[in-house]
Amino acid sequence: MTSLKRGIKVRSVVGTMMWLGLSIGILLMIGWCIAKMNLPLSRLPTQGYLDTTGGKDYLTMSHLVAAALRTTTRLFIGMGYSILFSLIFGILAARYRSARYVILPIVNLLESVPLLGFLTFTTAWFMGLFPNNVLGVEAVAIFGVFTAQAWNIMLALYQSLRVTPEDLMTVAKQFGCNSWQRFWRLEFLYATPSILWNIVISQSAAWFALVACEQATIVVPKNETLVLPGIGSYIQIALDTANFGAVINAVIALVICVLLVNVFIFQPLIKGTAHYKYGTSTDSQLPQQSQVYDLMVMAKVPLLVKRLHRHIRYWWLYGAPKQWQKLGFSRIIRILKKYTVYWRIAWWLVIAVGLYRLGVLLIKYLDWINLSVLFKWTFLTTSRVLIAVLLSALIFIPLAVWVASNARRLKLIQPVGQVLGSIPADIYIPIVALMITLTGTTQHWWVIPLIMTGTQWYFFFNIIAGYLAIPSDIKDVVNIFHLSGWRWWTHFLIPSLFPSFITAIINAAGAAWNADIAAELISWGTHQYAVTGLGAYIAQNINNKPAEATGVLIICVIVGLCVVLIWQPLYRFAERRFHY
């Protein structure tokens, strides 16, 4: 008994130290990184200086540690903005039909726009928002993280709010909860497992986008190209100088960052929110082992912290609604709802005027000289993207089903997939360059595999999520009827996973174009290997903004047409035809 008490006391002390260590460490890291962000733009290293020195002063272990800290901080900040965006627009879309008609189509379109499509048209705006300050460049990288996960999180919250069980809503009404209290005490808690799961499966895309944003350089008016410190820029400089050892070190640092975030942040959150599950929710089969959580729940929280938490919670649930009522926003919203038709007319007029002004601007700005050639290159690139997406689906859908169908396999393989999915396509360039050099081939075989590195994980994670969302009673019925082989796929699995497949292909569309731009023009030291296509055209004109914008706009138009004419009709059909 004494040894048992001693063991409990030791675990309590370790848990308390872990709480303090994590809290102080994260605060110090964010504080240090914010101080580094708020500096004059001239403090950033220039590409010319790095080319002169061969990157020797930059490719050091101390720089790599600092780069890893800054990259992780950008991830946390981007995640925070994504959650805030999701809370605002997810609630609006779920509560108000008029807002839903505006928000959902825009989010579904933005969900499949490639990252470069955002950066091309927003980089100058962020730089102007923080003139002559590093914050402008930091905002570009953080915005990349935002675009990689905000749409998924918002849609997860929206869908959860729309399907909150009526019996729970009735209970909340009987307890006299107002709309604010009902959201935070019922609806938000009901949606928490789904939100958390979507944050977790979005991490691969977030790390990928963040590294890609850090690899992009910023050209300032004095003909200087600035480099933003981070793991992405570290990798890019290592590739430019053909420093294979530095590339390996950067990959190891990236993997360590991903693992630490998973072990100390997401795994404890997944286990801590397990009791918020209702029935057969998405996370019903997720592995919930977390040694960190087991230690942290045994920590001794100071009495002052408990009291502070109790006062904040009480004010948030009971004081905030009173302040809202005093401001009169509820009355304003009720008045505005009476004029819904006029607001719709005004909205469409705003869209028409905006499109007209955008069209006039694009006619003056875009590079129309190579437009006839670009159509041919667009066809070649679109064919490569289509082949890569189809191959990714054919390989990774069965693999995801195999992984998700066994809890032990899911526990082992899903974290590995998160780590591999966070590695950008550029990491594989040294291997490709080495194979090209050894074989002396002139075939452009490397393009398809490199594109697949940006698409395959969307199928993997979305199909896993879809499989875990299948109610257990449906699986029991399938087992009773002894469905197997082809009948099991066609009568049970494909209909069940069809909505998840459409979601995966919408997400993979944008990622495929991102990966294609990196794959059609690769560099290793002084060597360049290029193929004919739209991606190579964009990569070669990265400093020619009109030409780059023309190529990116063509991609956005193709993606938008696919979403409007193909994927959205299929998604609506899946929601109407295949649901539980």
- Residue 345's contacts (CB-CB under 8 Å, 6 or more residues apart) are none
- The mean of the pLDDT values for the chain is 77
In the chain, what is the greatest distance between 2 CA atoms, to the nearest angstrom?
A: 83
Cα dihedral 12, 13, 19, 21 in deg (nearest 10)? -160
Helix residue ranges, H only, 405-428: 407-421
Strand 527-530 relative to strand 521-524: parallel, antiparallel, unpaired? antiparallel
Q: Position of tokens 């914050």?
A: 135
Q: Position of tokens 């061969």?
A: 54
| Per-residue pLDDT reduced to its tens digit, 16-44 | 787 788 888 888 888 888 888 888 877 77
Amino acid residing at 46: T
| Per-residue pLDDT reduced to its tens digit, 49-95 | 676 666 677 788 888 888 888 888 888 898 899 999 999 998 888 88
pTM beyond cutoff 0.85: no
Amino acid residing at 494: I
The secondary element (H helix, E strand) that includes residue 529 is: strand 527-530
Contact between 386 and 455 under an 8 Å Cβ cutoff? The reply is no
Q: Write the DSSP string, 320-339.
A: HHHHHHHHTHHHHHHHHHTT
- Residue 34's contacts (CB-CB under 8 Å, 6 or more residues apart) are 73
Q: From CA 66, how far away is CA 230, in angstroms rounded?
A: 8
Q: What tokens were used for 510?
A: 């944008």
| For residues 508-526, average pLDDT | 74
Amino acid residing at 354: G
| Per-residue pLDDT reduced to its tens digit, 396-435 | 999 988 988 887 888 788 777 767 766 666 667 667 766 7
Domain ranges of the chain: 65-296+366-577, 335-365
Q: From CA 29, how far away is CA 264, in angstroms rounded?
A: 15
Lowest mean pLDDT, pick from 187-196, 246-255, 259-268, 468-477: 468-477
Q: Write the DSSP string, 204-248.
A: HHHHHHHHHHHHS-EEETTTEEE---SHHHHHHHHHHTT-HHHHH
The pLDDT score that the predictor gives to residue 283 is: 43
Q: From CA 227, how far away is CA 318, in angstroms rounded?
A: 48
Q: What tokens were used for 175?
A: 């307890």
Lowest mean pLDDT, pick from 231-245, 272-286, 545-559: 272-286
Q: From CA 29, how far away is CA 67, in angstroms rounded?
A: 12
Lowest mean pLDDT, pick from 5-9, 204-208, 354-358, 474-478: 5-9
Q: From CA 307, how far away is CA 303, in angstroms rounded?
A: 6
Burial of 269 (0-12, 13-18, 19+ CB in 10 A): middle
Strands of 205-311, DSSP E: 218-220, 224-226
Contact between 200 and 288 under an 8 Å Cβ cutoff? The reply is no
Q: Please, which contacts does 403-407 make with residues 24 or more away whose CB atoms are closer than 8 Å?
A: 403/460, 403/464, 404/285, 404/463, 404/464, 404/467, 404/468, 405/467, 407/285, 407/287
Contact between 149 and 206 under an 8 Å Cβ cutoff? The reply is yes
| Per-residue pLDDT reduced to its tens digit, 87-125 | 999 888 888 777 787 788 788 777 767 777 677 777 778
| Per-residue pLDDT reduced to its tens digit, 269-313 | 877 777 776 654 444 444 466 777 777 777 776 666 777 778 888
Share of the chain above pLDDT 70, in %: 81
Is pLDDT larger for residue 73 or for residue 232?
73
| Terminal alpha carbon distance of the chain | 51
Q: How confident is the model at residue 521 (pLDDT cuts 50, 70, 90)?
A: confident
The pLDDT score that the predictor gives to residue 371 is: 66
Task: Give Rg (Cα) of the chain.
Answer: 25
| Per-residue pLDDT reduced to its tens digit, 135-159 | 888 888 888 889 888 888 888 888 7
Q: From CA 176, how far away is CA 170, in angstroms rounded?
A: 10
Is the pLDDT at 221 greater than 60, yes or no?
no
Of 393, 152, 399, 184, residue with least CA distance to 282: 152
